[in-house]
Amino acid sequence: MAQINIQQQQAVQKHDEQILVVKREHLFANNDAWHGLKEVDFEHYLNIINDKKEFLPRSIMETDPIYKQIIPYLVYTHNDHYFLMQRRSDSSESRLRNKMTLGIGGHIRQEDMQENTLFAWALREFHEEVDYAGTLNVKPLGILNDDSDDVGKVHIGFVLLLEGDSSNIAIKSELKSGTLVPLSECVVQKEGMESWSSFVVDFLQK
């Protein structure tokens, strides 16, 4: 990693959350980065993460494209409807404020890896973000990469479809709104979505 300057050191002191990252070169060994959501061998990439993982300060990783921050991205579905949410205007990620989203997710901290599985973390994160009391079946959809903007350049999404048996689902305080809608409504809302959710909609339409 590049040498940390004084401004970066100050940022680390203010926000020194150590998050899971993997160097881009390990994820895209032959410089074969794709654009969008792609079906892949999940186990292969989980093994890469396990072998090459590092935990580095989030404040630095947000602007260092040498690394990819590993982000599980959870999409809830029930009876061919999807839980479409809107982020708050004061969301911690300023670049995504007020955007519509299908994805619940976040960074993985070092202490989160004690359970040592992405799926265990995903289920815990899901219940932290929404109120839901039904059962869940977790199905990997693919891995999402988008290097077209500053957010995408430093993140990679492991997209998981959470198939539930209940429509009784509601947002918590981190989100502005949330409702179950058919895929057709997701298509209508694409213009107001964050880019990752837009890619998910395209994928689900295939």
Q: What letter would DSSP give residue 109?
A: B
Residue 132, pLDDT above cutoff 90: yes
Lowest mean pLDDT among 74-88, 101-115, 128-142, 155-169: 101-115
Q: Domains in the chain and their CATH numbers? A: 6-205 (3.90.79.10)
pLDDT of amino acid 1: 43
Contact 155, 69 (CB under 8 A): yes
Residue 85, pLDDT above cutoff 50: yes
pLDDT of amino acid 88: 64
Q: pTM for this one?
A: 0.86
Exposure pattern of 112-121 as b/e (b: 16+ CB <10 Å)? bbeeeebeeb
Exposure pattern of 141-153 as b/e (b: 16+ CB <10 Å)? bbbbbbbeeebbb
